C-alpha cells in the first residue's frame, strides 16, 4: 500500500480543496490517462485497486504511471470518546485531489485496450473521472 516512509509531522490540518488543479492536470508520460472531475481524498488502497485493475486488463503489457501519492496523514479518535482531549492518532494517509488532476497514465497498448483498462480503474475510484488522450496521439 502507498504511504510515505517518514513524515515531518505526525498530524496535518484538514485544509481546503477549492478550485481546479494547478499542476498535474496534463498528460506528462503516457498517451492515455484518467482525469478526476471532483474533489476527493484518495487513499492508498483505492489507488492500489485502480492500479491492479489496469495492470490485469493490459496483461502487464505497456506501462502505467501513478501520478498521485497519499502523503497527508488522517487522524481519527476511537469510537465513543468524549469531545476534547486533543487530536486523534494517525489512522492512514490520503492524497487530496482537485478537479482536473490526472490520476493514472498508460502507454504502449492500443487505444481500445487502454480505454477499457482505465474504465475498469475508474470504477475502483470514488469519484467521476474522464478518459483523456494525448493531443498528438494518432491511432494506428
pLDDT, one tens digit per residue, over 110-136 is 999 999 999 999 999 999 999 999 998
Q: Interior CA angle at 62 toward 59 and 67, to 5°?
A: 105
Q: Is-contact 32 111, C-beta < 8 A?
A: yes
Q: State the pTM of this model.
A: 0.91
Distance, in Å, from the CA atom of 122 to the CA atom of 91, rounded to the nearest integer, reads 25
Distance, in Å, from the CA atom of 104 to the CA atom of 84, rounded to the nearest integer, reads 40
Please give the class, per CATH, of domain 32-78+86-133: alpha beta
Amino acid at each position: 500500500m502507498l504511504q510515505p516512509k517518514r513524515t515531518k509531522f505526525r498530524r496535518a490540518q484538514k485544509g481546503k480543496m477549492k478550485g481546479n488543479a494547478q499542476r498535474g492536470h496534463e498528460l506528462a508520460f503516457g498517451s492515455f490517462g484518467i482525469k478526476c472531475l471532483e474533489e476527493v481524498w484518495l487513499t492508498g488502497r483505492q489507488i492500489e485497486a485502480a492500479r491492479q485493475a489496469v495492470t490485469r486488463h493490459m496483461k502487464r503489457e505497456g506501462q502505467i504511471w501513478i501520478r498521485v501519492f497519499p502523503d497527508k496523514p488522517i487522524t481519527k479518535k476511537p469510537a465513543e470518546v468524549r469531545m476534547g482531549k486533543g487530536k486523534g492518532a494517525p489512522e492512514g494517509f490520503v492524497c487530496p485531489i482537485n478537479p482536473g488532476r490526472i490520476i493514472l497514465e498508460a502507454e504502449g497498448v492500443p487505444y481500445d485496450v487502454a480505454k477499457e483498462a482505465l474504465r475498469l480503474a475508474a470504477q475502483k475510484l470514488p469519484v467521476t473521472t474522464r478518459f483523456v488522450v494525448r493531443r498528438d496521439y494518432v491511432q494506428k
